[in-house]
Chains A and B, each alone.
Chain A
Amino acid sequence: MDKTTENKKPVKKQGPIRVEAVVPMLIVVGATVLYFSLFFDAHLRRGLEYGATQANGAEVNIGRLQTSVFKATVLIGDVQMTDPLQPLRNRVQIGEVRFGMLWDALLRGKVMIDEAMIEDVQIDTPRKQAGRVLPPPAPQSGPSASDKMLATMKEEFSGNVVGDLAAIAAGANPSEQLQQIGGDLKSDAYMAELQRSMDETEQQWKTRMAALPRGEDFGALRTRLSNVKVQDVKDVAQLQAAVKELQAIRDEFEAKSKPIVEAGTGLAGDLKGLQTSFAGLDDVVREDVRGLQARMKLPSLDAGNLSRALFGMDVLNKVQQARAYMEQARQYMPSKGKQADKPAPRNIHKGRDYAFGHPKGYPAFWLRRALVTSTLPGGKGLSGEIRDAATDQALVGRPMIATLKGDFPQQGVSGIKAELVVDHTKAEPVERMELSVARYGVAGRSLVNSPNVTLGFAQAVASASLTAELRGEQVKMQVSNQFRDVAFETTAQSTVVREMMQASLAGLKTVRMDAGVRGTWGDLDWNLSTNLGDALARGMKRYLQEKMDEARKRIQAQVDQRIAAQRQKLTARRNELESRLRSSLAEKQVQVDKLRADLEAARRDLEQRKNAATDAQKQKLKQDANQLLDKWRR
């Protein structure tokens, strides 16, 4: 036997099924069970924390999380959502959330929660350590019209109007700053543009005038006209020749005089344009004066302006919050129309999910009912309900409705009533919210914070109401606040400012603020009024009106003075150009008119001769006929 054959082991033929894989399979199954028992909850908790942080815009912590795979239940405890504006405080803190999911839905890859319990809800609670705040998300494709609108509003409201007024009251002379302003007035640029425009006009007209027919052109025509024998016409043939020559001269005259007539019309238009441009200079000067007033922080003493400076940012924050919540609601609960539109996915690697639901099917997520409770000693607390939070409301056929009422006594907040309706069942998404708080305490709230003056509520009892309806791109919001038993806190370095503030606020115990925001997200109409603004405007006027008027006048005078020389020079140049162009065109016009008159006279002369010749012929024929008749009668 061959040695190599002898050494070969008998090869056992193997079938296509791997029987020996049973043990590794069992190991894999065991490892999976072990993972779900030991690590799944921790990993899910981290995942939820990450997702909730992204949605909240600031750190969200989950204290504990327990799941039961077989019962499909989840228990989430001690949820803390950081307030992005105050990282040391929680926006909301929830004691416990419990819910069970239906296996029937889970097997279909959907989450269906029949009833959830949300217990021990609190707001504005302190945190042990500051929560991480995420940077605002970068816009997908540049700022939208609504972003620009809100940014403009923010710039306007964040201005320190009251501080600027206080600075003037304290003795700052705004017109002194005018000396430092460089040569970047719009009027300068406008006048340079006027100068350039006049140079261009002059050059154009120089070329055009040179191209116009000259005196000798018309002289040649006049010579030809004088050679036409109008006086010595003896027969019809001569008359015809004279008419023909006269017609030729007239045609040539018309051809040569046409550019002069057109130039007359064109010159009138250009000169009118220059006049309009000069008139525009006044508008630019006014704009410069306004710009300088703004740059020198010369604010308006208008009550509306002051009201916006005091409470504008508050209202703006509420509008921005409403928009952020609306965008999230529309992203996660798209309306019927949006689902049909199927926008391109933001990340191509994630693709686009399609929903093929039928009337009795499950949407991807559906929380049918959640009970919110927070019972505190003394029967106080919070109760509420969330119904039908679903990713496909058109399929569910019902809008999401959330209601909440109760008190947060620990935070001194009572009489909360809130109702939120998110109706995305139809093509046009609608979100409505009504919120009222009967009473909450205010302490140490700053309204004005500038080096010259500070103003705020040391203490007050407040109530608030908010009504908002967002329908498609339309916004309708009404915000009202009332601060009662107000104790103001104001500081000022200058005695005048201190006096002014005290006089303005004297006797003011209740501050009301009403704001209305209407329009589309790209074009919002703001209406904000507060009696605090009225009181400050009245009080400050007494101290500041005279100073402000004087400052405005000085600004106007300085701008006028600065541009006066250049303006005068430009006006003189325009007048000179106008008169020069008009006179040189007028010379040509005179020649044209004179030749036109000569031509007309020659035409009339010929006409008369033609009529005279015709009459003579008629007379001769008549005489001949009479003679013939006489002969015949005899």
Chain B
Amino acid sequence: MTLLLKQLFALLRLLNSDTGTNQIAAGVACGLILGFAPMLSLQGLLVFLCMFLFRIQIGAALTSAVFFAMVAWLFDPVSHALGVAILETASLQPLFTTLYNLPLVPLTRFYNSVVMGAGVMSVLLAPLVFFGSKLLIALYREKVVARFKSSPVWKLWSGTTFFKWYSSYEKFHG
């Protein structure tokens, strides 16, 4: 829980700073794939590994995963229809037969209509979400953060002893 909260605070800090746009956007894109994939699946594990190994904002990934899981649930009928269409495509049958009988690949549950449909949708939407997130973060920093920092409330708050003490603490401990 502490780790999770730490990640969420890190996300907020990063969101309100001038750096880490790519990390947050990549996190949101990973969250999309995680949210659209089944809870326990090979592809979910791979995305987790990527989040650990590469500099991807984990807080953003987990938050957006929860959000996209709800979106995916609402879109399950669409995913099912898309998955059925793909899995019943005659020209893809030999490919699916090979994949189905390969080690590890069936652990992705690609042979399930909802998993296949949602998987294809998430992979197609991931680049759009990545670039869209970058745009939204830039807009947020420009329109919301800058305006908030120039507001009297922030100025009043940043002038307090507690804020100064916290700023110096953060400088030393990060």
Contact = CB atoms under 8 A, between A and B. Distances in A.
Interface in A361-390: 361-362
Given A351-B83, A356-B100, A358-B97, A17 B54 contact: yes
A353 interface: yes
Interface string A488-502: 000000000000000
Interface string B42-86: 000000000011110000000000000000010011011001100
Contacts of A18: 52-55
B52 A21 contact: yes
B49 to A, nearest CB: 8
A25 interface: yes
A356 B76 contact: no
A612 interface: no
A345 to B, nearest CB: 7
Given A108-B102, A356-B96, A358-B97, A351 B112 contact: yes
B101 A358 contact: yes
Contacts of A351: 76, 79-80, 83, 112-115, 117
A575 interface: no
B111 A353 contact: yes
A294 to B, nearest CB: 50
A107 B104 contact: yes
A149 interface: no
B55 A17 contact: yes
B171 interface: yes
Interface string A341-369: 00001001111111111100110000000
Interface residues of B, number: 34
A109 B107 contact: yes
Contacts of A355: 100, 111
Interface string A68-104: 0000000000000000000000000000000000001
B24 to A, nearest CB: 14
A349 B73 CA distance: 7
A17 B53 CA distance: 6
A108 B106 contact: yes
A584 interface: no
B107 A356 contact: no
A345 B79 CA distance: 13
Given A351-B113, A356-B96, 5 more contacts: A107-B103, A109-B106, A345-B113, A351-B114, A361-B100
Interface of B: 3, 52-55, 73, 76-77, 79-80, 83-84, 87-88, 93, 96-97, 99-107, 109, 111-115, 117, 171
Interface of A: 7, 9, 14-18, 21, 24-25, 28, 104, 107-110, 345, 348-358, 361-362
26 contacts: A15-B55, A16-B54, A17-B55, A18-B54, A107-B107, A108-B103, A108-B106, A345-B113, A348-B76, A348-B114, A350-B112, A350-B114, A351-B76, A351-B113, A351-B114, A352-B84, A353-B111, A353-B112, A354-B87, A354-B112, A355-B100, A356-B97, A356-B100, A357-B97, A358-B101, A361-B100
